[in-house]
Chains A and B, each alone.
Chain A
Amino acid sequence: MSADLRSKAAIAGVGLYGLGEAPGETHLEIMARAVNSALDEAGLSLRDVDGLFTSNMNNLLAGVSVAEYLGIVPKFTDATNFGGSAFVAFLQSATMAIASGMCDVALICYGSNQRTASGKLVSPVEPQPYEAPYGPRNPISAYALATARHMYQYGTTREQLAEVAVSMREWAKLNPDAFKRDPLSVEEVLNARMIADPLSVLDCCLVTDGGGAVVLVSPERAKSLPKTPVYMRGVGVAHTHKSIMEMPDLTVSPAAISGPRAFAMAGVGPQDIDIVELYDAFTINPILFMEDLGFCEKGKGGTFFSEGHSRPGGRLPVNTNGGGLSCAHPGMYGIFTIIEAVQQLRGEAGARQVRDCGIALVHGNGGTLASQATAILALER
């Protein structure tokens, strides 16, 4: 019964490092600095870590490489590469490991230097025989197909997609760690250079460096540690395809499965959520996810953003750090949804603090809308 995992783990520490540009540092170095930060605020050290949850696009055997770099021999390791949703998905396996007693201190961590190393999104190279002959650009071609279909089926407009980007920028303006903070208008997005219609360069997430880490322990242990515990109330993971060609319905992502799984475990619904932190790889993602997670009707995601509900002061803040579109996007974004949610819940978000924030939904996306992971984090157990 999935409800058995409800609140069986709590987040005791989070850390960020190198958001934006971290020149001269490797992806493992960036990751390790975030790890140090997270363990430090949790009042723990690497010697305490016995569960490792990590993934990246640099190491083929990511779990093994990261454990070696950190100098740990974990009792439990999960290095499943779901793409960017991996880190939210790790909340599931980390909670299972802690709840079953397989490990006591779970460390979720990630780091990337893609911006200063190559300036481009680092993607694994594997043969795509049914796509390659047609000249795709990964992953934007796939997201453009999903966006175009959503526009065709539901009348979503480029203006609404632009409103998503503008909303993210409004939050980034309040976040000193955000990479892009200058004002952004709908007109600018509409006039930006097109890459794959209907997506322009401003419909795409940033390419930055950055690292993050999250430390989970049992709820009892969390209460004895320095920071206010954030409970892992519910989590759900789902993947329905790898290639956009085999996505059952281009307008419905597997968030429509992971979301209900997470809500069921948590025992709450969309109406109970105070803030949403989700993986905005492209402007279509927040529209799809707000629909699939049940915050608005299918097809009405564009309206949700154009009516301003997600912005500072709106009734349902989305991506309070500026998201992948304006804050940071070091290749795999999932871990940053967790870290931002935790900082908001703890009241540590400074100028971008959302008042009366008790329950957050975090959502990660992987591949071409392929793998989705949703988690509910709360101050109340």
Chain B
Amino acid sequence: MLGIKKLKIKGFRGYVEEKEFSLETPVILLFGENHRGKSSTLNAIEWCLFGNECIGSNTGIRERIDWEIRNRNLPSRDEVFVELELTDGNNVYKACRKFLSKTKCNLRLTLPDMSSLEGTDAEKKLAQILKSSSFRDFLTTVYQHQEAIRYILTQEPKDRNDAIDRLLGLSDYRNILSGIDAAGLNRMQNELDNSFQGFKERIEVALRTRERDLQDKRRDAIEMGVEKNYINERGALVIAKTVKDELTKFASETGLTLRDLPLPDNWKELKHKFLDVMDKEITRFRSEMPDVKREKELHNKKSQIISLQSEYDTKNRKLKTIKEEFDKFIKEHGNEEKLNNTKSDIEKQLAAKEKEMKEVNAKGKTIDDAIGYLRMEGVNKNICPVCGKEYPDLLSHLEQEWDKKYKDQMGTIKDEIEKLRKEKEKVESLLKKEKELTNDFERAKKDIIEVNKKIGELLNKEITEKDDPFVLLNKELEGIDHELNLSKDSIKSRQEKLNDIQAKVAIINQIVDILNLEEKKKIVEEVMQTEEYKLIEEQKDKMAELVNNVNKIKEAINRVSFEDAKNKIASAGKRISDLFCKITSNPAVREIELSVNVDSRTGKNNYEFKDQDGKDLIPVLSQGDLNALALSIFLGLSESLNNQFGFIMLDDPSQSLGSDYKEKFIEILDAIAGSRTVIISTMDKELQDSLEKNLTKAKRKYNFTGWSPQTGPEVKEETG
């Protein structure tokens, strides 16, 4: 068995200055209040032997999670080390572990022959010396940690089971299982399953909308007269064939040509390759049917006739009006010849009167002519029209002279000349009027000729003066109306036939729309064919396999943990019972049976404590009893399983022990100290006194009297 002789600590945890401890006495007592460095002393032994294995969450000791090795107050240049002298009875080894960084440390191992190993070689050798005992084994059988007792004392079954697992050295299994649970694979699996949920819901909404549209369209189709069993591809194609056959027959009957179009063999081609074309053909047939064309022609002709009639009527009236006016004129005024003759007479008379005037007084005539000239507009009234010279007030002067000298003489002749001139103007005006009337009349006659020509072209005959074009047109109209009446029924029946065919086309369109909507509903199938969907399915399969494998691993770990616990309890159970009964001396409890079973919900170990009658003890155990139980388990296991180490360490073992229990406990320790070094750290004054008084083996006492940041623990040694 491996014992420890000496311990040297510097800069480790609570320590600043270097301190040395001799550990060769059977019992080593570390006394002192809180935060004096007692636990750091025990931790130093641990760390020296196992290095960074005893740090962090993997230890299962919660306070080790953010553990600092290097004392914060240590000057930066100072080293941190723990040196431990070990002996296996014959040989002495010196293990010195130095702190390098948070994650690194270095071991130097000095062998009995004074040679030394360093680093990995030293670690391997040390492990050999420790006979491959793990840190877990150390905690189970050598170092009873105060936290282990604390969690046994709790009333929570889960925490108690955890603590007992730890005591039994099974916390690694628990840690792995906790790690697996923390990974949340089941949750992830459910999330993967649900990842699609939002998308599925949207599809569901879209499909419900489409379903409603479908139902509406199906209802409409039935109202259109479609039988239910025709609302499918086959039905659509059957009706399409009927449409084609009926149109072909129609074309043949009406002398039209139907566009050659093959019948599609699937509904998808119906819309664009067939129905749209058929629709256009029907529209074409409606306008190109011979009857319809003829009807159109007749209507056109009828419009033309009515228009011509109107035109003829208007122009004829105009001709009549002009003729009446012309005749009236002739009657009143005579014709052109007569008017010309009248004009000629007047001109002759006028010439004679002017000659007469001239003969009476040439000068006076000249003055009269000059006055007449000067009175004209735009003429300079002061310029003589004969000589061209300017005379002021010439016109006035001439007028005075005319009035004075010539008026009486020539006045009458002048009046007569004036009168004749007026008559002449009147006749000229009549002649003009006559000419106008003649022209109008000619034009009106020409218009009538043109209208007749148009009528003749329309009626395809020459219109002569003997014909009454208006009546001829009426007759033609009657003929047209008669023909229109005759063709009306035939056209109506043909249009109805086309309506019927067109209704069938509408039905096919409706069915195609329905089939389209049904096709779109197959979006689910489309989605399931996508690479992305297939990938999700693959991932689900892989995930299920992974979860399944992990669950198998969990089951295996639980099984191993259970078996391990069972074996340990089997080997140490009796001793644990003896120790417990010795410490507690409860007359009602003569024996305890520690057993383990599997929690059906979690698969983890569940520990039960029963008395000699098989009754559950936990509900009736006090805190002191639970403390005693924890100590019994530790000491029992230590005795049964610890073969390597020649010492045990107890840190604050008496947390809830009463005085009697402490005494009994000390008796047990005294017995143990006979074969192993017992190192106890406590601040319990009563326990201290009791240990000093009642332990029969040699003791070395270290009093941790104080602590300061600059120097670390103040330790006084006493040997007893």
A binds B: no
* Residues on A facing B (Cβ under 8 Å): none
* Residues on B facing A (Cβ under 8 Å): none
